[in-house]
Amino acid sequence: MRCLRYVVRKPAFTHFSSCSARYYSTTKTSKPLRILFCGSEEFSAASLKALHEEQIQNPGLIQSIDVLIRPGKPFGRNFKTIREVPLKTTASLLGLKVYERDTFTGWDLPKAKGGPINLIIAVSFGLFVPPRILNSVEYGGLNVHPSLLPEFRGPAPLQYSIMHGLPKTGVTLQTLDPKAFDQGTILAQSLSIPIPNYKTTTYGELRDFLAPKAAEMLIQVLRDRAFVPPLQDVGWYKSTKPIHAYKISAADKEIKWHEWTSVMVDRQYRAVGRLWNNIRVNIVEKKHVLFDNFEVVPKPAIFKEWIHGRKYDEKTGHLLPQKSDEQVRFFVYEAEGNKVMAQMYIEDGEAIILCCGMDRVDCVKVRRMTVGGESSKPAAQVTRQFKGRELWQLIRGARNVGGMSAQPREELTIRKYVSRKEIEAI
Q: For 266-310, write each residue's pLDDT tens digit.
A: 999 999 999 999 999 888 889 999 999 999 999 999 988 988 888
- Cα separation, 340 vs 422, whole angstroms: 15
pLDDT at residue 184 is higher than 90? yes
Question: Where does the pLDDT of residue 356 fall: very low under 50, low under 70, confident under 90, or very high at 90 and above?
Answer: confident
Count how many Cα atoms sit within 13 Å of the Cα of residue 241 in the half-sphere of its side chain.
0
Residue 359: C-alpha distances to residues 301, 362, 402 (Å): 16, 8, 7
pLDDT at residue 374 is higher than 50? yes
Q: For 20-58, write each residue's pLDDT tens digit.
A: 344 445 689 999 999 999 999 999 999 999 999 999 999
Percent of the chain with pLDDT over 90: 69
Structural domains in the chain, CATH included, are 14-223 (3.40.50.170), 250-424 (3.10.25.10)
Contact 145, 217 (CB under 8 A): no
Q: For 52-93, write each residue's pLDDT tens digit.
A: 999 999 999 999 999 999 998 777 666 667 778 999 999 999
Question: Where does the pLDDT of residue 199 fall: very low under 50, low under 70, confident under 90, or very high at 90 and above?
Answer: very high
Quote the pLDDT of residue 140: 98
Lowest-confidence range among 17-31, 162-176, 212-226, 352-366?
Answer: 17-31
Considering the chain, what is the average pLDDT of its residues? 88
Quote the pLDDT of residue 266: 97
Comparing CA positions, the residue from 131, 190, 201, 140 lying closest to residue 166 is 201
Mean pLDDT of all residues in 222-241: 96
Q: For 376-395, write each residue's pLDDT tens digit.
A: 999 999 999 998 888 898 98
CB neighbours of residue 17 within 10 Å: 7
pLDDT at residue 397 is higher than 90? no
Q: What is the CA radius of gyration of the chain?
A: 27
